[in-house]
Every structure is written in structure tokens, then in C-alpha cells.
């Protein structure tokens, strides 16, 4: 399997298919590069080079006990882009991956970056604080950690069966294959990485990262996102960006890159080519 070894010895698995302008995908918690299959196949067919990695502790990357924070996530992504010598790249991040993309650009600069897209992403900051009164209480994330520690396998069944894909909404028809694939990806990773990752995605403040970004950024978010609530995420990020565009959906779920891949892919392509 293709991997790179970063400076602390962690091995990062990645996929690198095709030629042309590179598109780099950063996945959500607690998944893997496989979550981008619908996008990678689509953009590969359009003549792009598509790249996705498993975040440290996730998927096929090392199940290291340390470094599960946004600084390490961003530095691992920077190491991958340097290893592949990517230029004029488009970075697309979903959920936690959106935070990774924002922090990567804010921390490492735009010399290799052409555009970015943040999909149902965690920035500017998820947790409720004095400066972010619309955020979710810390107790919500403490509860996620408790559920993971108590019975990770069941917890990773309940999330995709319910709020992640909106299968708990009236009239929604659950897709067993989608649920099973979510569970498979989650259980490939390490419990410690996923436990610490909850703090990373919920408590990191990306405000200053967003302010630094000057390349065009498409912010895509659904008003019915049950994982990363819309009002405290997408619109606020778009306002902080110097060159941001907000695209809102009324009733798509958090996992819209899977359930509505045809729409999402077409609009990402239009943004990239625009």
C-alpha cells in the first residue's frame, strides 16, 4: 500500500489515481479515504488526478497513540502534498476534513493551493464558548466520547443508521450498504485516535485560519445537518473567508457526499472549472 512516513514515525496511507490537476480529499471523522469513492471515481473520469489519505489513526494509517489534533492533521497533509510535489491543487474537506483543510492552508500557506471546498465542515468552531454562543455544549461531545469508550461497535452502527445520513427523518429509507460501509470504515481505525479526534474537531477554533485564506473557497452546507448544525458553521465560515461562496441545501443530511453525490459532484465540478 502507498504510504508516507511523517516526522514522528506515523505512516499515512494514501490513494493517488490519474493525471491532470490534483484534487485532494480530506475525510470526516471517524472514516477513511474510502468515504470519497463517489467523488474520486467521478473526478477521475473527468481527467483530474485524485488523491485521498487516511488521517493518522484512521483507516489504514498507523494507529498511533499520539498526535490526534489539528496541528498534526494539517502537518500530515502538508507532508503528503510535499511528498507528491502537488501544485495548483484543489483541496476538498468534509466535516472534520474541512477543518483539516482550513488549518492546513492557514498553517502552511497557499503556495500549492488553487481553490478549496468545505462540505458540512466543522469550522469556525463547534463547541459553545463565550465567543461562540451558538455552539453545541461541551457535554454533547463528552457524551460522544463516553459512547465510543463504552461500545464503539454499537455507537458506530447507531450514528449512520440515524442522524449522519438523515435516515431518522420521516419518510427516509435507510440504505443498509451505506450504513455497513460507514461501520466498516470506522472500525478500521483506532479507538484512541477517534476518542481524541472528538476534541480536535469540536474544540479547535479555525477563525484565524479562515481569515488568512485568499484562494476561492466554496462552502457547502445543509440546513438539516444533524451532526454539524448549519447556523453555527457554514454561514459563519463563508463570512470569515476573503473569497468564500456559500451554497446551502434545505434538507440534505450531513453525509450528503454519499446520499446526494450526483448533485454535490456536479456543483464541485462547476466550482473547480469556474
Would you state the torsion angle of the CA atoms of residues 33, 39, 43, 49, taken in this order, to the nearest 10 degrees?
A: -10
Q: How far apart are CA 211 and CA 220, in angstroms?
A: 18
26, 178, 188 from 162: Cα distances, Å: 23, 12, 21
Which contiguous run of DSSP H or E holds residue 93?
strand 89-94
**Phi/psi-derived region of residue 205, left when phi > 0, alpha when psi is between -120 and 50, beta in every other case:** beta
264 three-class SS: helix
Task: Give the pairing type, strands 22-26 and 49-53.
Answer: parallel
- Catalytic residue at 94? no
Q: Which of 26, 62, 95, 202 is catalytic?
A: 95
Kindly report the number of other CB atoms within 10 A of residue 173's CB atom. 5
- Catalytic residue at 225? yes
Q: How far apart are CA 188 and CA 175, in angstroms?
A: 20
User: What secondary structure letter does DSSP report for 54?
Assistant: P
- Catalytic residue at 37? no
Q: Which of 54, 75, 225, 232 is catalytic?
A: 225
Q: How far apart are CA 187 and CA 210, in angstroms?
A: 32
Q: How far apart are CA 38 and CA 90, in angstroms?
A: 17
Task: Give the pairing type, strands 22-26 and 11-17.
Answer: unpaired
- Whether omega for the bond prior to residue 124 falls within 30 degrees of 0, making it cis, is yes
Residues catalogued as catalytic: 95, 225, 254
Amino acid at each position: 500500500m502507498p504510504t508516507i512516513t511523517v516526522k514522528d514515525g506515523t505512516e499515512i496511507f494514501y490513494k493517488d489515481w490519474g493525471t491532470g490537476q490534483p484534487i485532494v480529499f480530506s475525510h470526516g471523522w471517524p472514516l477513511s479515504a474510502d468515504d470519497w469513492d463517489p467523488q474520486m471515481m467521478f473526478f477521475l473520469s473527468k481527467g483530474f488526478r485524485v488523491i485521498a489519505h487516511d488521517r493518522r489513526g484512521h483507516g489504514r494509517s498507523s494507529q498511533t497513540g499520539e498526535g490526534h489534533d489539528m496541528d498534526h492533521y494539517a502537518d500530515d497533509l502538508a507532508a503528503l502534498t510535499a511528498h507528491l510535489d502537488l501544485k495548483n491543487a484543489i483541496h476538498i474537506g468534509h466535516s472534520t476534513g474541512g477543518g483539516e483543510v482550513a488549518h492546513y492552508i492557514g498553517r502552511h500557506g497557499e503556495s500549492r493551493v488553487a481553490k478549496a471546498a468545505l462540505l458540512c465542515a466543522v469550522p469556525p468552531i463547534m463547541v459553545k464558548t463565550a465567543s461562540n454562543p451558538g455552539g453545541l455544549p461541551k457535554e454533547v461531545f463528552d457524551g460522544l466520547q463516553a459512547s465510543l469508550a463504552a461500545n464503539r461497535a454499537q455507537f458506530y452502527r447507531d450514528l449512520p443508521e440515524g442522524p449522519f445520513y438523515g435516515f431518522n427523518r420521516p419518510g427516509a429509507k435507510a440504505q443498509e450498504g451505506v450504513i455497513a460501509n460507514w461501520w466498516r470504515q470506522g472500525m478500521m481505525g483506532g479507538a484512541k485516535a477517534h476518542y481524541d479526534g472528538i476534541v480536535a474537531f469540536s474544540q479547535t477554533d479555525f477563525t484565524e485560519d479562515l481569515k488568512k485564506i485568499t484562494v476561492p473557497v466554496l462552502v457547502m452546507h445543509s440546513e438539516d445537518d444533524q451532526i454539524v448544525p448549519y447556523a453555527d458553521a457554514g454561514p459563519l465560515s463563508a463570512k470569515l473567508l476573503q473569497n468564500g461562496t456559500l451554497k446551502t441545501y434545505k434538507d440534505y443530511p450531513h453525509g450528503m457526499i454519499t446520499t446526494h453525490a450526483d448533485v454535490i459532484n456536479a456543483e464541485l465540478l462547476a466550482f473547480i472549472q469556474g
